[in-house]
Amino acid sequence: MIPSSPQTCAAHNQAVTCNFELYGSNNPLLDFQKLAPNEDITGQKIVKVFIINAFIAIVLSLALSVDKVKVNEYDSRPKRKDKEEHKRYVKLIHTIETLLQTLSDQQLIASIALLLAVNQQACELSAYHYNLVCTMLVLGVVTHLNLLMNITDFLNKGKFVALYRLVGILAQVVLSGFVLKARMSNNFPTTAGPLSIIPAACFENMNSTDILGVSSWSTLAHNVTTAGVASNTTANANQIMDNLTASTTASGGIGEYTTLAAFLIIALASVTSEYLQQKLNLTERKRIGMSRASIAFSFMSIIASTVIVVLSFTRYNRLRSEMDIPALYRAAEEKQWTFSQILPILMMAGSSIAVVKAVTESFIGIPGKRFENQAANALKRGGKTLEKNNGYEDVEKRDEDGTSSE
């Protein structure tokens, strides 16, 4: 399990060979010494699905953030308060929210599966493949962040389902933190090269699961400030800079993860705030203040997410292009279309089903006698008209003369 070391692997009857002498030299590698593909975890299709999913989530979140500005700033003006939103616009927002929730669910399932697979292969996974796993886990958190930050009715859409999602998301975030922090070592190879062929267990930080990672940060500080045996100040300063570069490079991804974790805490506060705004009788001043804070954090999270996705994509492309070369990689053994690579693509394509369902329910209605009866009963009780959109209570206000507001 993560974190792993040769000693912990040996305790589970798994041998780990840390051949630093072979891979630390510049001697050409024989074919059997080169890196073998691992399509089950880091196939090219799998990583690209994570990247595309995170990018789409950012685009959808931008649309929802603009809608949040419209609802809280434009529609709250005195001249706009009594006007109804166009139904097609409301239904479009519903469709976007449904798609974002579907993408988050897919990332959650894929990320948990990835964590389980990494845990199973902890003693044999190469440092190179471990780096790709860290990239995918960060991208998974990006999608969840945008879900929580930009769907204002997250809890009101169904408390049980929302809490169920939250438990899964928090579990993924915590476990992803352990995996990323295990790489927080000043000798973990995060760039392409022969050392990346060595099992990740030879480099991992065994303090990655301690409370809040205190030991990890103290180890990082020690690695940075240890200046070796140099006796003069200039040499010591140069050594510290070299150590700082090595340590922060090896910690690549932990900065993005920390940023996302901080925004997730803000997102949870935002979800709670949106829920309380609808349940409590807040003053107009407090409501406006909370709404504007939510809008500001939404756009900040989108900016942070965009930067992280671009960094992750750049880091992935560079690592893949520099590592997948004949001198280091057995490319001839790589299979492009395995089950584990086809499944994420089909899962992503499956989100179109949720979109079609949301669109048809919004614009056509949910067919069935039960929903027609529900709409008829609501019409009798309320003195209000339900648009014949059976599954959704799109209520039209009536003017004093009894005509519809549209």
pLDDT in tens, the chain (406 residues): 788 888 999 998 898 989 998 998 888 899 989 998 888 888 888 888 899 999 999 999 999 999 888 887 766 655 655 566 667 788 888 888 888 999 999 999 999 999 999 999 999 999 999 999 999 999 999 999 999 888 877 777 778 888 889 999 999 999 998 898 888 877 888 888 999 999 999 998 877 665 444 444 444 455 544 444 444 445 455 554 454 444 444 445 567 777 778 888 888 887 887 777 767 776 777 777 878 888 888 898 899 899 989 988 998 999 999 998 888 988 878 877 777 778 878 877 777 777 777 777 666 655 544 444 555 555 555 544 444 444 444 434 434 444 444 3
Q: How far apart are CA 340 and CA 334, in angstroms?
A: 13
Positive or negative: CA dihedral 326, 332, 334, 337: positive
Task: Report how far apart, in Å, the C-alpha atoms of 369 and of each of 158, 374, 376, 392 are.
Answer: 24, 9, 10, 14
Q: Which residues, listed in sequence order, are joined to residue 199 by a DSSP beta bridge?
A: 126
Q: How far apart are CA 64 and CA 166, in angstroms?
A: 20
> What is the helix (H) or strand (E) element at residue 373, kind and residue range?
helix 369-382
Domain spans, the chain: 6-20+43-364
Amino acid 112: pLDDT: 93
DSSP state, residue 37: P
Q: How far apart are CA 2 and CA 181, in angstroms?
A: 10
- Residue 359: CB atoms within 10 A of its CB come to 16
Predicted TM-score (pTM) of this structure: 0.76
Angle of helix 127-150 relative to helix 87-120, nearest 10 degrees, comes to 150
Task: Report how far apart, in Å, the C-alpha atoms of 403 and of each of 182, 380, 397 are.
Answer: 66, 17, 9
Q: How far apart are CA 372 and CA 386, in angstroms?
A: 11
Q: How far apart are CA 371 and CA 350, in angstroms?
A: 26
Amino acid 238: pLDDT: 53
Q: How far apart are CA 391 and CA 393, in angstroms?
A: 7
- CA neighbor of 328 nearest in space, from 69, 128, 143: 128
Amino acid 213: pLDDT: 44
Please name the amino acid found at residue 370. Answer: R
Q: What are phi and psi of 199, to 5 degrees?
A: -55, 140
DSSP string, 58-105: HHHHHHHHHHHHIIIIITTSTTTTTSPPPHHHHHHHHHHHHHHHHHHH
Contact by Cβ (8 Å): 203, 4: no
- Examine residue 28 and say whether the peptide bond preceding it is cis (omega within 30 degrees of 0): no
Q: How far apart are CA 33 and CA 27, in angstroms?
A: 11
Amino acid 83: pLDDT: 60
Amino acid 381: pLDDT: 58
Amino acid 379: pLDDT: 53
- Residue 288: CB atoms within 10 A of its CB come to 14
Q: Which residues, listed in sequence order, are joined to residue 395 by a DSSP beta bridge?
A: 386
Q: How far apart are CA 71 and CA 16, in angstroms?
A: 58
Q: How far apart are CA 254 and CA 53, in angstroms?
A: 21
